Homo-oligomer: A and B are copies of this chain.
């Protein structure tokens, strides 16, 4: 391995800043929802940048944009490096964009150094990672994980998806045709900002993702009885708010005590009949929890439901649970994690293993090919916000780790 190889931080910064100006909101953030005008403008810029840099530009039926570098022998598989150019509404300029710019800079560096590998390299921008329309749309299409059903009932509404497809010249059939043969893919690597402050707090340069968490959600309904809030004694009530409140507090304690690598959230409680002067008959609790591996995921599921049952019983309430769906945890490839560790050591960067609490395109590649992901520190852990910020030095460190991991995995 050429241990003095480094990418060009100034060139990378120039590209990053050009991209950040597209859809800029004037307060440091960008607004580039998938397949909206600003997102399409960012893609147009990417295509021109790819072509200007002398790469083969590729686009598939799902609108995924790539720079292709044929640095491997004929018939070689392709190592994908990438992320996404779409943002949440009024998001930041690092989430997604950094991973695409870094991937392209890795390819530029490989190309100008004439490096030959056992694989080809492809820097890819996936369509609609954030889920304004579908979520992980481009990566799921590419890996064959997208179903026609999902396109008919997308989380952003079919009408918005159709409008976006029309703007981008895409179609349902085209999106579903983007599936690639799995034997053509050597692996997938992604650099992303951490969406949390663990690296910043521990003053560590690089987070090597060990897994992307599984996510499960339920609606739990605590059911009691409506009563006159003036004439019914406290002792005689079956107050649904008590079960819901006790569960909210106890679930947090449970996770912090017994599942320190997991998280849970109660994003909503909906009361009925919802009147100042009526004891709540029912409270519907929106519960979500995340775990980095199947074993904890299942144990946490059981523990939370048992806890809800116990808290309901304690206050004389009935519990109903309505399962809203789950995404399994996605472990990252051991060999790619080792390659990242090696790269950090060559580059003298501190590193630690981290779980990604947020979803990423890497999930789409689970079971298809080895997947790896690294994080760089995010100031205050802020993300999905105009205030999202990562020091450029950290961005460059991450991109160099990506470069060295690609070198190592491709040799």
Point out residues on A near B: beta carbons under 8 Å: 194-198, 213, 215, 217, 228-236, 239, 241-242, 244-246, 248-249, 252, 255-256, 263-269, 271, 274-280, 283, 286, 288, 290, 324, 356-359, 381, 383-384
Contact = CB atoms under 8 A, between A and B. Distances in A.
16 contacts: A195-B231, A196-B233, A198-B233, A213-B230, A217-B276, A230-B263, A231-B381, A234-B255, A234-B256, A241-B266, A242-B252, A245-B248, A267-B271, A267-B278, A268-B271, A268-B275
One complex includes copies of this chain to the number of 2
The 3 A-B residue pairs whose C-beta atoms are closest, nearest first, are: A230-B357, A229-B265, A245-B245
B196 A232 contact: yes
Q: Is the interface of A mostly helix, strand, loop or mixed?
A: mixed
Given A235-B256, A236-B197, A245-B248, A277 B288 contact: yes
Nearest to A260: B234
A344 B244 CA distance: 45
A273 to B, nearest CB: 8
A276 to B, nearest CB: 5
A10 to B, nearest CB: 30
A234 B383 CA distance: 17
Contact of A277 (B194, B233, B245, B267): B267
B245 A357 contact: no
Contact of A274 (B231, B268, B381): B268
Contact of A267 (B196, B229, B236): B229
Contacts of A278: 265, 267
A286 B249 CA distance: 19
